Amino acid sequence: MMSFMAAWRKRLRAWRKPSWLARDEFPYSRIAPAVRFSLAGLFLALLLARAMLPDPSRDAQNLPPPPSYETLDVAAGGERATMARLTALRLQSYDAQSGKYLKIASLHTPNLIAWLERSARLDPSRHYPYMLAAMVYDHGDAQRSRALARFVTDGFVAHPDVRWQYLAQIAVRIRHAHRDPGTAREIAAILRRHAPASAPSWVRQLEIFYLEDMGELEAARQLAIGIIESGVITDPAELNYLTKNLLERIERKQRQDR
């Protein structure tokens, strides 16, 4: 065992850097001890100081307003897609600031919307900020949800293909978490008008349910008939559900009201 270790030690001592890696250098022992020790001491002291002392500028601050669109545009230097993503990522870091977590619900809503809008405007083809709006930042009061709904609605009308799901999610949350069927119905109407053919049919029917909720039975009935007659729905089971279940239920309620 000993001889094995000794052999290895000998081999290690004999090892030289390969020629392409080696530089003609003097050993560290040639450096004056004062320089060596002050370098090591200063390095350790700086590391300790940075680790121990709090960083004064990084106190958990509520979300500040974002830089203006023009500033970001100039700073992007043509790389708008990258800047859009970085803006969104920077926004995300505000609820997880160094060691101090801010609740998402406590973020300043107008500034939050401004950050999302910057990101969306820098790269209008991406869905990321709308996803963030619906899935991450829709926490807190009804006012936050309504502001996010306005933001997502604008994006949805421009690109309905993927974004219908984000708007639908906010509509459902406004209806059920904040008990605000009026706003939910307005969003559902926008969804019905602009939803792409690829979206499931319940997206177009959401407005009927909300109208029914609000007691506007005649409007709900007319809308259901309109959807059936428009021929958008081709699935026989779904048509059957709409006529037999939904329409008949609404008409039954209307008769009871009278």
Partner 1 sequence: MNPNATAARQRISPWPVVRTLARFTVIESLRSRLFWLLGLILLVAFGAAMLAESVSLSESLASRLLVFGTLLRLGGVSLLTVLVVTSLAREAADRQLDFLLAGPCPRWAYALGKASGFALLAAGLAGAAGGLAWLLAIDAGGQVAAWAASLAVELLVVVALAMMVTLNFGQPAAALLALALIYGFARAAPAVVDMARYSVDMQHSLANQAQWWSAQALSWLVPPLDRLANADLLTGAAADPMTLLSACATTLAYAALYLLVALVDFSRRSLS
Task: Give the residues lining the site for partner 1 (CB under 8 A).
Answer: 23-28, 30-32, 35-36, 38-39, 42-43, 45-47, 49-51, 53, 55-58, 89-90, 92-98
Please choose, from the candidates 102, 100, 99, 89, the residue with its C-alpha nearest in 3D space to the C-alpha of residue 63.
Answer: 102
Output the smallest distance, CB 92 to partner 1, in A: 7
Nearer to partner 1 (CB atom), residue 24 or residue 257: 24
120/132 Cα distance (integer angstroms) = 11
Burial of 19 from C-beta contacts in 10 A (0-12 / 13-18 / 19+): exposed
Torsion angle of the four alpha carbons 56, 59, 63, 69, in this order, in degrees rounded to the nearest 10: 20
Nearer to partner 1 (CB atom), residue 98 or residue 240: 98
Question: Phi/psi of residue 38, each to 5°?
Answer: -70, -35
16/188 Cα distance (integer angstroms) = 74
Nearer to partner 1 (CB atom), residue 31 or residue 158: 31
Output the smallest distance, CB 39 to partner 1, in A: 4
180/69 Cα distance (integer angstroms) = 33
Cα 187 to chain centroid distance, Å, stands at 20
Output the smallest distance, CB 99 to partner 1, in A: 8
Token representation of residue 89:
């990522």
Output the smallest distance, CB 124 to partner 1, in A: 23
Sign of the Cα torsion 184, 190, 196, 202 reads positive
Which residues lie below 8 Å from residue 196, measured CB to CB, with a gap of 6+?
Answer: 160, 161, 164
Nearer to partner 1 (CB atom), residue 25 or residue 229: 25
145/141 Cα distance (integer angstroms) = 7
Output the smallest distance, CB 58 to partner 1, in A: 6
Nearer to partner 1 (CB atom), residue 2 or residue 32: 32
Output the smallest distance, CB 121 to partner 1, in A: 19
Token representation of residue 119:
């990101």
Token representation of residue 163:
């974004």
Nearer to partner 1 (CB atom), residue 56 or residue 110: 56
Nearer to partner 1 (CB atom), residue 76 or residue 233: 76
Output the smallest distance, CB 22 to partner 1, in A: 11
